[in-house]
Amino acid sequence: MRARDATTFYIDGRWVEPANPQGLDVVNPATEQAIARVSLGSGADVDRAVTAARQAFTAYSQTSRKERISLLERILSVYKRRWDDIAACITAEVGAPVTLAKGAQTGAGYHHLSVTLAALKSFRFERKLGNSRIVREPIGVCGLITPWNWPLNQIAAKVAPALACGCTMVLKPSEIAPLNAVVFAEILHEAGVPPGVFNLVQGDGPGAGAALAAHPHVDFVSFTGSTQGGIAVAKAAADTVKRVTQELGGKSPNIVLDDADIETAVTRDVLTMMNNSGQSCNAPSRMLVPAAKLDEARRIAAQVARSVVVGDPLSPRTMMGPVISERQWNRVQRYIAQGIESGCEVIAGGAGRPAGLRAGYFVQPTIFAGVRSDMVVAREEIFGPVLALMAYRDIDEAVAIANDSVYGLSAYVSSRSLKRAATVARRLRAGNVHINGKWGTRPTPFGGYKQSGNGREGGAFGFEDFLETKAILGYS
């Protein structure tokens, strides 16, 4: 199987032809040229993969902790050798700059495998409770549906805990960026994952995704994607009363407190917003600054946005590549137009491609000022490099603006006082709150409130949804 080809599926330990061949071009978003073909799977392909996973579950669910530890160690070893192959796929099909692809994008998959391995070594699958034994057992066959924006991050965040907990699975990655999943399947095969434990079926949501969510022999569906897609998955899964977890959209607020180093905070967070072309569900897309410091924040934000180097993802100078597709480019352009029509002031960027770029789905790093909470650009997830700069009068208003959203995935707070920042963080309705741009030094749970989904991923927290709880009474 060649890494540039996604026309066959990995089922029961072998690469097999689709039941009903139907192809789709994989397009490089930086060139707008087709670079590969992907087959769109059908219900028949999903059924074949689920059958293989169901058959493999009997044996794999009984493997020991030691065996699963050894398996994850082998996967990590092979993954490290295939690092550059994964990164090349992500640059080609997602448009991530080579530095991002070789760094955070590919590194995220390795990170999830590593923290899962560490968690597996100490996780308590059994404990005594009075005269009973509480046992955590693998839930069964898992349907894993992942998006294109951070592909190996989401794939590994689901596959790793499934393997660690003794589950078998069928993965359906995004049909827009399927090539990295092919390399990942090759890694698992070389590492010796038993046939049927991991299966890969390519395809789109209405075809393969819906069939996987509705399949009666799938016990659990883990979905990452849009809120609209998550609702569709939950409805498809409802008839068989299977467990469903969803990591969905976001419109993350970013509160810069009045005692923060505004130069540092605004510079850092504008760059964070533009990372991965703004295509991150937890991107800090609403920047809230004290009204008294608005002019200073405007100046800094505009200057930073104009400094972002947009262009060829293969150039080491490039800081931001294209958005994923023509459809996404048009979506972002519509939001920029709506922002202008609603009276927002464009202080950096704007409509159209950056100067000098005639091809590719490139978007200008855009900053809107004069944004109010009732405006579309402040309420809907744009999923592009567009930041809304908003003013607040006091902390209560800042918190009210931050929480005035159907989403609750992430939030950001900047302050010289950690105690003050933490006090504000506790008032925010979000699953993750970053203080001064920091990330956790140890595995922390990732997931959201409200329409940002349910369930958590990351280290031992990611095990919970892949396990059932059994009480064996009268046994100690």
Q: Does the active-site annotation cover 281?
A: yes
Question: Of the candidates 384, 381, 282, which has an alpha carbon nearest to the alpha carbon of residue 332?
Answer: 384
Q: What is the model's pLDDT at position 451?
A: 97
* Annotated domain spans of the chain: 9-248+452-472, 253-444
Q: Does the active-site annotation cover 167?
A: no
Q: What is the dihedral of CA 30, 149, 230, 140, to 10 degrees?
A: 130
Superfamily classification of domain 253-444: Aldehyde Dehydrogenase; Chain A, domain 2 (3.40.309.10)
Mean pLDDT of 188-202: 98
Q: Is the pLDDT of residue 2 over 80?
A: no
Please give the Cα distance from 149 to 439 (Å, whole number): 19
Q: What is the model's pLDDT at position 4?
A: 59
Q: For the segment 447-475, what is each residue's pLDDT rounded down to a tens digit?
A: 999 999 999 999 999 999 999 999 999 98
Can you point out the beta strands (E) in 313-376? 345-348, 366-369
Q: What is the model's pLDDT at position 3?
A: 46
Q: Is the pLDDT of residue 229 over 60?
A: yes
- Pair 402, 450: CB distance under 8 Å: no
Arch. (CATH architecture) of 9-248+452-472:
3-Layer(aba) Sandwich (3.40)
pLDDT band at 442 (very low <50, low <70, confident <90, very high): confident
Can you point out the beta strands (E) in 72-167? 126-129, 132-138, 141-145
Please give the Cα distance from 268 to 270 (Å, whole number): 6
Q: Which of 247, 344, 381, 457 is catalytic?
A: 247
Q: Other C-beta atoms within 10 Å of 15: how many?
A: 16
pLDDT band at 5 (very low <50, low <70, confident <90, very high): confident
Mean pLDDT of 93-121: 98
Q: Which of 281, 344, 381, 457 is catalytic?
A: 281
* Averaged pLDDT of the chain: 97
b/e per residue 195-229 (b: at least 16 CB within 10 A): bbbbbbbbbbbebbbbbbbbbeebbbbbbbbbbeb
Q: Is the pLDDT of residue 267 over 60?
A: yes
Q: Is the pLDDT of residue 48 over 60?
A: yes
Mean pLDDT of 367-393: 98
